[in-house]
Amino acid sequence: MNKPVALITGASRGIGRGIALELAKTHSLVATYRGRLDAAESLRAETGAEIIQADIGSAEDRARLLAFTREKFGRLDLLVNNAGMAPRVRQDMLAATEESFDELINTNLKGPHFLTQAAANWMAEQGDGRIVFITSISAYTASVNRADYCISKAGLAMSVSLYANRLAAMGIKVFEIRPGIIRTDMISAVESVYEEKIANGLLPQRRMGETSDIAKAVRGIADGLLDYSTGQVLNVDGGFHLRSL
């Protein structure tokens, strides 16, 4: 019970699970999942995490999540805004639907923005805390067959800058991690396409990222190694963000 407390959204699979496995070494965990109870139960068995079903886009679920964390642990040291989704169907932006746009903005942008608002007010009572947003290279990379996803991640990147500025004087540090092409369920349908592009030079570091690569970046933040770098953007992307001729 003396361990620091981390809340990780979308932790049952993919990047969130990788982060949870890493932080379980040092933190008490509250981990959210949306639909896959089996994956969440597996995470609990492996890490001892408290698992909570929550839709981060729901104000009621966000309030219930923080109320549980406060009642169970009494404090919150680290929030990892990881939960997010890709469009259910990739569509050219000239044909994409408002329904898809609304769903992605609600889950990927509005949800983490307002969860952070509530968590930040709690951390302000404590006088310290760290907040991590997992965004994407799609925050600045245009993919016209998933414009809704790109827009949601670009908005989330601005949310990081805003919170980093607002919370710095309160002792709360805020960071953005921008994953590149990471081997998860989200890209399983197009993994072979990405592998071919990487082999042909898409990334300076000629390999696809793993969830452990993101988890290591979160580890550095959690351990306080970047505490004088609030607002920093960590590109964990194999060098994708580099420009060269």
Q: Which residues are catalytic?
A: 149
Termini Cα distance of the chain: 53
**129 is written with which tokens?**
């805390």
**197 is written with which tokens?**
């592009």
Q: Is 235 exposed, middle or buried (0-12, 13-18, 19+ CB in 10 A)?
A: middle
The whole-angstrom distance between residue 230's C-alpha and the CA centroid of its chain comes to 17
Strand partners, 28: 5
Q: CA nearest 219: which of 52, 19, 68?
A: 19
How far apart are alpha carbons 108 and 187 in whole angstroms? 17
**214 is written with which tokens?**
């993101």
Strand partners, 8: 31, 80
219 with 236: CB under 8 angstroms?
Answer: no
Strand partners, 96: none
> Virtual CA dihedral for 179, 182, 188, 192, nearest 10 degrees?
120
